A and B are shown apart, each in its own frame.
Chain A
Amino acid sequence: MNRIEGRVKVTGLATYAAEYPVENVTYAFPVQSQIAKGRVRHVDAQAALAMPGVLTVLSGEDPPPLASGAGELALFQSREVAYRGQIVAAVVADTYENARAAAAVVRVDYDPDDHDVSLRADHPGLYKPDHVNPAYPTDTEKGDIEAGLARAAAVVDVTYETPVLHNNPMEPHAALASWDDEGRLLVYDTAQGTTLSRNTLAKVFGLPKERVRVVSRHVGGGFGSKGTTRPQAVLAAMAARAVGRPVKLVLTRQQMYDVTGYRTPTIQRLRIGADAEGRLTALEHVAYEQTSTLEEFAEQTATPTRIMYAAPALRTAHRLVRLDVATPSWMRAPGECPGMYALESALDELAYALGMDPVELRIVNEPETEPDRGLPFSSRNLVGCLREGAHRFGWEQRDPAPGVRREGEWLIGTGVAASTYPARRSPSKARAVVQDDGDVLVQVAAADIGTGARTALTRIAAEALGLAPERVHVELGDSDLPEAPVAGGSMGTASWGSAVVRACEELKSDGREGTADTTEEVQGDAAFSRHAFGAQFAEVRVSSVTGEVRVSRLLGVFAAGRIVDAKLARSQFIGGMTMGMGMGLMEETLTDEEFGGFLRRDLAQYHVPACADVLDVEAVWLDERDSELNPMASKGIGEIGIVGTAAAIGNAVYHATGHRVRELPITPGKILMF
């Protein structure tokens, strides 16, 4: 169905965080560290304070008190600098222009130390974290990898690398904060979850939760970067307290690269052995990643390898190093996305080593139960996706020989990769109440970051109530609503929807109102391995003259439970695949080894796909029934679309050219240097 908020979005009336009309508003602009490691010796705000319109300068010289003293949000609580770009001061002024101009003249003196910003697989600081995001075991091992490799008919031992990637939602991270006379804090925030943002701000400021309210009615994309509370929310609130007026803070696009998280670069080594029939004899996946000195974020890069293929010997491991960099964080399918890029590329290499069709190779290794824990799958239709996709894509006619199809200067190739993402849910609350006109109001502190949550929840509630969707009104994006988890981990709809259904069920029996808290229900979920699966097919054209790669076709086939809304689902899948194309071909943030921090911090240098890049992209899905998931029988679909796309494209580039680029992105330069 059409998006409920469609009309306000196309008429420009939808209010995003920085857009609420607030009287007497002031503007804050951050000052960022110009060293990557060391200490702030002194912040000289004199010149800035003398500039027109400047109200105050915040810094560690007179640190505004916070209840929590460590991590990315503990602004100005320490003089230590953990990375270049960290916020070390901020100016508040009457206008944006004045705040920004004054921020440029705040003088910060440092005692710099030597920094280390480079991830290497042989870094002496590598360590084994206690767990990986969100709570997976760091390592797993079963069977004997070396023995499996020794008896294999074909072995691949390959290392893949992925760069720093930035979420780059179109809406910059922003906050508009104000305190009322009773000391209550209101923040319009770019948050993927208002409950979590409220709880975080309450903790940082040492306030009871009831005294903080976070509102995020419309969020201009997040892709994980707005899942955790970001410094702009803390800084805006801190500044508003300091000047006694509302404060608006919108990060610049460049600042977003520094302080809103990013996908860790990865170095991934895969060793895979298979017998002559293609059955895996050993599968090992070791990932090397970075985190900061402020906080630990250990991405779950190798975890998809634990569930994908049957192998008698299976080992996965994650090693982390603390560098003088910003803390990496969630970016669309953290773990699964880079991990499956490497696994599915390596599997393509194995298919060539065996002389076997890559679709068949995956089918041959379909496991009966989850390879890691031996749990039954609640449902698993990877094989169905591969077969359906192969049929639709015309895979049967494919000649596997690389580098032989040519139209003029353009080499043509096709590739396939599998896709997967966990189907989880979290406890949520919801309320449904009959209004005076007989329509039903549904309340849940969910967030619509572009996923269509309002629309999906409307359909879910309407179905549960037996009402027309027009008679259901969903209210979300406000922490004063019933508490709900973030829009993240592809579990928004599953989590919120479960609570909405239960609330609606109670309303039906009560006749007037229903409330729900799914904590017990979710804790009681039976032990299954729950995942969505998919198959991605790509056709590329590679210029033999310039190395330019154009993706002429992308097809994704997914098995993701019951699809709540076909129109929204297709958009989610296609959007994820489009972002995956960017990862495959152009997205890359460089780490500045000399000065620390990042380079290419804008959208002219960090390329995301433009309209002209996206030709024929299509997504379809299988009709999958799975009664073990949630009342909607749905699996999350926000992330699976990006998983596997880059591998399918890379495999197609190999098929087109005979060159295997093992470091993303696959740029013309890398193709030409073969």
Chain B
Amino acid sequence: MKPFDYTRAASAAQAVREYAPGTMYLGGGTNLVDLMRLGVAEPDRLVDVSRLPLDTIESVRDRVRVGAAVRNTDLAVDPMIRARYPMLARAVLTGASGQVRNVATVAGNLLQRTRCAYFQDVTRPCNKRRPGSGCPAIAGDHTNLAIFGASEACVATHPSDMAVALAALEAEVHVTGPGGDRIIPMPGLHRLPGEEPERDTVLEPGDLITAVELPPPPTGATVYRKVRERASFAFALVSIAAVLDVGEDGVVAGCRIALGGVAHAPWRAERAEQALIGGPATGEAFLRAAEAELEQAGPLPRNAYKVPLTRNLIVSTLEGLAS
């Protein structure tokens, strides 16, 4: 680990003032410290924002505001979240381990980096870590990498479960930074790799997430399901956060599908959603919708299994929600 200075901020504004190139904000540290030890992250300076007074969950009219420093555990066990946003509670609970969730913050969860093996190994090339060095995952191990929206520069996936649920819930990410305050609607925080895989998100240097605001829960049944070969304490092969609202007439009034483990960002299956809305809530329709979404999949040899997995998962999840 490269030597660095450490300071603790007393307020979000102070944290942003402390920002300079080479500075990184430290939340729970469950990913950043890990990456620093690997030499992947090499900040000159850490500004600790984990104890900022951004650690409350508040109901604001019909919305819920979750502070950026709220620990994952506290989010998942909050009675209001469990009652109104069970999909979010479930997603958080499937992530990492109890010990990690006790420490990891909401903002840190959103900003965690890919677990691609090449990204995490500074002795191998990686465009995300060292732009222009190449992406060996494409010819090498991409078993758990992206099938949607990847580029020739990067096939990484975003590892968060929580972000997938937030994408389905269309949460807003509140950001403050040197350029002022702004609100980024999910799933807009994370970007696809394109030519700049080093940028995971649309945040600018010095931006600090202060809160995540949840709009009123969507109408309909919701679920979060995560697929992994180890029964717990593993990143998703594929995960799904889905909302399905079926009218009395059997017609789909509303549908949201967000997928994890398939792209550089939580992936909203918009084609599938559009194919379903206004149509019948039948297994056949679900399959057609899933296939419509998967038409744009670009699997590689070792992750081709994610195509049938995603298809099955969409169909089975929607069938479960419809019944």
Minimal Cβ-Cβ distance residue in A for B3: A101
A residues 42-62 near B (Cβ < 8 Å) are 52
- Among B12-20, B273-281, B301-309, the one that faces the other chain is B301-309
Interface flag for B99 (CB, 8 Å): no
Interface size class, chain A: 35 or more
A667-B230 in contact given A100-B1, A545-B312 (Cβ < 8 Å)? no
Q: Which A-chain residue is minimally distant from B125 (CB atoms)?
A: A595
Do B141 and A669 have beta carbons less than 8 Å apart? no
The count of chain B contact residues (Cβ–Cβ below 8 Å) is 35
The residues in A between 604 and 619 inclusive whose CB is less than 8 angstroms from any CB of B are 604-605, 607, 609-613
Measured between C-beta atoms, what is the minimum distance from A585 to chain B in Å? Answer: 6
Residues of A within 8 A of B230 (CB): 586, 607, 609-610, 612-613
Q: Please, how many angstroms separate the alpha-carbon atoms of A549 and B120 in the complex? A: 28
B304 pairs with A667, CB closer than 8 A: no
Tell me which residues across on chain B come within 8 A of A602, comparing CB atoms.
120
Quick one: closest B residue to A549, CB to CB? B229
Interface presence of B83 (CB below 8 A) = no
User: Given B139, B140, B237, which contacts A668 in the complex, CB threshold below 8 Å?
Assistant: B237
Query: Top 4 closest A-B pairs, CB basis?
Result: A669-B305, A612-B232, A612-B231, A545-B316
Residue from A544, A672, A673 with most neighbouring chain B CB atoms (10 Å): A672
Scoring A residues 585 to 629 as 1 if CB is less than 8 Å from chain B, else 0, what string do you get? 110001011110001111011010111110000000000000000
Interface string of A652-674 (1 = CB under 8 A from B): 00000000000001011110110
Q: How far is the CB of B259 from chain A (nearest CB, A)?
A: 13
Query: Chain A interface mostly helix, strand, loop or mixed?
Result: loop
B185 at interface (Cβ–Cβ under 8 A)?
A: no
Determine the distance from Cα of A431 to Cα of B167 in the docked complex, in whole angstroms: 69
From A32, A605, A611, contact of B232 by CB (8 A): A611
- Whether the pair A668, B39 counts as a contact (CB closer than 8 A) is no
Does A550 count as interface, using CB distance less than 8 angstroms? yes
Which residues of B pack against A, CB within 8 Å? 1-3, 39, 115, 117, 120-121, 123-124, 136, 139-141, 143, 227-235, 237-238, 303-306, 308-309, 312-313, 316
A669 close to B233 (CB less than 8 A)? no
Complex Cα spacing A237 to B288, Å: 66
Chain B residue nearest in CB terms to A51: B3
Q: A672, B309: Cβ atoms under 8 Å? A: yes
Residues of A within 8 A of B117 (CB): 599-601, 605
Cα separation A251 to B312 with both chains bound (whole Å): 42
**Chain B CB within 8 A of A426 CB:** no
Tell yes or no: A546 within 8 A of B by CB.
yes
| A320 CA to B255 CA, complexed, in Å | 56
- Residues of the A chain whose Cβ atoms lie less than 8 Å from the Cβ of B316: 409, 545
Partner of A546, one of B120, B141, B312: B312
Q: Give 15 CB contacts A-B under 8 Å.
A: A32-B123, A104-B39, A544-B312, A546-B237, A546-B238, A548-B227, A586-B229, A592-B124, A595-B124, A600-B141, A607-B230, A612-B231, A669-B143, A672-B309, A672-B312
- Distance between A94 CB and nearest chain B CB, rounded to angstroms: 14
B237 and A669 form a contact (CB under 8 A): yes
The B-contacting residues of A in range 422-453, CB under 8 angstroms, are: none
A550 touches B115 (CB 8 A): no
Identity of the chain A residue whose Cβ is nearest the Cβ of B233 in the assembled complex: A610
Q: Are B312 and A548 in contact (CB under 8 A)?
A: no
Q: Cβ of A482 < 8 Å from any Cβ of B?
A: no
The answer to whether A546 touches B232, judged by C-beta atoms less than 8 angstroms apart, is no
Interfacial chain A residues near B2, Cβ < 8 Å: 101, 104
Checking B124, B229, B313 against A667 with a beta-carbon cut-off of 8 angstroms, the contacting residue is: B229
Contact yes or no, B115 A101, CB < 8 A? no
Residues from chain A with a CB closer than 8 A to the CB of B304 are: 673
In the complex, chain A residues whose CB is within 8 Å of the CB of B309? 546-547, 668-669, 672
Contact B231 A613 (CB under 8 A): yes
Complex Cα–Cα for A590 and B139 (A) = 13
Partner of B141, one of A97, A590, A665: A590
List 10 other contacts, CB 8 Å, given A550-B231, A594-B139: A104-B2, A604-B115, A604-B235, A612-B231, A668-B237, A668-B305, A669-B306, A669-B309, A672-B308, A673-B305
Give, as a whole number of angstroms, the nearest-CB distance from A568 to chain B.
27
Residue among B120, B227, B230, B234 with the highest chain A CB neighbour number at 10 A: B230
Which residues of A241-299 are within 8 A (CB) of B? none
**A34 adjacent to chain B (CB < 8 Å):** yes
Point out which of A546, A667, A670 has the most chain B C-beta atoms below 10 A from its C-beta: A546
A544-569 interface bits toward B, Cβ cutoff 8 Å, 1 = contact, 0 = none: 11111110000000000000000000
Choice from B1, B124, B305 contacting A97 with Cβ under 8 Å? B1
Residues of B within 8 A of A673 (CB): 304-305, 308
Please, which residue of chain B has its CB at the minimum distance from the CB of A104? B39
Which B residues are in CB contact (< 8 Å) with A672? 305, 308-309, 312
| B229 lies within 8 A of A594 (CB) | no
The answer to whether A668 and B229 touch across the interface, beta carbons within 8 angstroms, is yes
Contacts of A599 in B (CB 8 A): 117, 140-141
Closest CB of chain A to B287's CB: distance in Å?
13
In the complex the two chains form, what is the Cα distance from A409 to B283 in whole Å?
14
A431 to B39, CA, bound (A): 51
- Which B residues are CB-close (under 8 A) to A611? 232
- CB closest residue in chain B, given A585: B229
With both beta carbons as reference points, the residue of chain B lying nearest to A592 in the complex is identified as: B140
In the complex, A612 Cα to B94 Cα: how many Å? 12
**Least distance between B258 CB and chain A CB atoms (Å):** 17
- The residues of B that contact A593 with a CB separation of less than 8 Å are 140
**Roughly how many angstroms separate A104 CA and B39 CA in the complex, as a whole number?**
8
A546: B residues at CB distance < 8 A: 227, 237-238, 309, 312-313
